[in-house]
Chain A
Amino acid sequence: MKYLGEKSLSSYLHIFLVAAWYLVILAAFFIGVILSIAMFSDPVLEPGVSAFSRMKFELYSEIKKDPEAWKFFSSAPVHFRIIALLFISSVIFLLLKIIKKGQKIFSNFKNNIVFNEANVLLISKVSKLLILFSILTFNFSSLLVSIILLILTDVFKNGAALQEEHDLTV
């Protein structure tokens, strides 16, 4: 199994991350539409004529099946809803940033650029973003991954210095 270069694990991961980028954008769009319908419109329980109001009606009748959830949902104040929306959008924004940086790293690996100053910067940025992401989503397995990446940043920094020394030795 090849890990670096053309037709290797890195090139497949690059393709996967490009696909993931578009998938996350698509999912974020639909989640945004559904959430803004659910959060910022009046809870009217009558199916209207338009597709929009039918969708709203179905959403609300789904929530109404659970009385506890409905009570919580209908009594949540507006500023709470705005904070929830901001939280979700910031998580999605962080995820998109991490994916974009990952794409660049794996495209560098695909082109056999490994121990490079650009990669050091990218990996350190990814690890910091991942720490923020894992704290926001209470996902502590990715916190562990980000700490490992933080250590790997130093490894890559040393590697880049050695690579430069080697390249300039004739």
Chain B
Amino acid sequence: MAIIFRLDRMMADRKISSGELASRIDLTNANLSILKTGKARAIRMSTLEAICRELHCQPGDLLEYVPDDNEKDVLQ
């Protein structure tokens, strides 16, 4: 996946545990771990909004685009 969700880094910055974040944004722990391990296919706007609200950040701080190996070849 070329899009990486940098939730771990942001949570470490804000010093918040994943259990606490899950309870604050009304998400189950299982779903939050799907998000953190990068298995998620899609993210709802409401979920993204709640994460940004609780972590006081912008969506751009959470999401990062890293080209895949074959995409790098195309760019070079």
Total of A-B residue pairs, C-beta within 8 Å: 22
Q: Shortest distance in angstroms between B34's beta carbon and chain A's nearest beta carbon?
A: 6
Q: Besides A165-B42, A170-B31, A170-B43, 18 other CB < 8 A contacts?
A: A165-B41, A168-B34, A168-B39, A168-B40, A168-B41, A168-B42, A169-B40, A169-B41, A169-B42, A169-B43, A170-B27, A170-B32, A170-B34, A170-B35, A170-B40, A170-B42, A170-B44, A170-B47
- Taking Cβ atoms with an 8 Å cutoff, the residues of A that contact B are 165, 168-170
Q: In the complex the two chains form, what is the Cα distance from A104 to B27 in whole Å?
A: 32
List 22 interface pairs A-B (beta carbons < 8 Å), by A numbering: A165-B41, A165-B42, A168-B34, A168-B39, A168-B40, A168-B41, A168-B42, A169-B40, A169-B41, A169-B42, A169-B43, A169-B44, A170-B27, A170-B31, A170-B32, A170-B34, A170-B35, A170-B40, A170-B42, A170-B43, A170-B44, A170-B47
Q: Given the complex, which residues of A lie within 8 Å of B34, measured CB to CB?
A: 168, 170
Q: Given the complex, which residues of A lie within 8 Å of B32, measured CB to CB?
A: 170
User: Which of A168, A169, A170 has the most chain B CB atoms closer than 10 A to its own CB?
Assistant: A170
Q: In the complex the two chains form, what is the Cα distance from A70 to B14 in whole Å?
A: 92
- Which chain A residue lies CB-closest to B47? A170
Q: Given the complex, which residues of B lie within 8 Å of A165, measured CB to CB?
A: 41-42
- Taking Cβ atoms with an 8 Å cutoff, the residues of B that contact A are 27, 31-32, 34-35, 39-44, 47
Q: In the complex the two chains form, what is the Cα distance from A43 to B41 in whole Å?
A: 72
- Which chain A residue lies CB-closest to B5? A170
